[in-house]
Amino acid sequence: MFIHFITVFENVQHQRITTLKKMKYDESTIELFVTHSFHIVIGELLNKSYYLLVSREASIESEYIQTEFLPNHRCIFVRELLNKTFRSYPRLRRIKYYPLLCRKNQQLKCFYDENYMCICDLDRFSNCFTFHHSSTYDCQDHNDCENGGQYFQGNATCPSVMYEFVRNVITERSVNFQPVVCFVT
């Protein structure tokens, strides 16, 4: 699974640092030790399901957070939230209606489209930011991995750690939904 840490800056592009975390089939706890501040944490499962794990206005340097992957924290693809008329609109026209989605769906935590991830705040406004869903994580567009593997680079702005990620097809099976706990410090 991928854990995306988003740090928001005023008048500047946000920063996204991504960590790859291996999770066993029967594992329910994940521990993460973070040395940087962040505002938002999004968990991404290998099936491209996104979950809002942490959202806050002020970033804190060091903190212990316990959170779960819960069904009601799943970020919904925007086409599941819009009716047929709104879905037919071009993207720029459709975006104008995003603020209504949080107000109309009181339990909604987050949603996304092809280019943005949107978080519903406490006042039920949507705060959207650019989120590249199809990142290949290749190091400078170079990938020597075999068997469908890919390089994984945690921070596109300042890469310091790279991993090689290969899906294990032999052990892959349908997974029942079960809560996963994250510890972030």
Whether 47 and 57 have beta carbons less than 8 Å apart is answered as: no
Task: Tell me how many degrees the CA angle 5-9-10 measures, rounded to the nearest 5.
Answer: 155
- Residue 83's pLDDT is 92
Global pTM value: 0.74
Q: What does each of the 185 residues of the chain score in pLDDT, given as a tens digit?
A: 888 999 988 888 888 888 887 766 666 556 677 777 889 999 998 888 999 988 888 877 766 666 777 888 999 999 999 999 999 999 899 999 999 999 999 999 999 999 999 999 999 999 999 998 866 544 455 555 555 555 455 555 544 444 444 444 333 333 333 444 444 44
Burial class (CB within 10 angstroms; exposed 0-12, middle 13-18, buried 19+) of 128: middle
Whether 5 and 36 have beta carbons less than 8 Å apart is answered as: yes
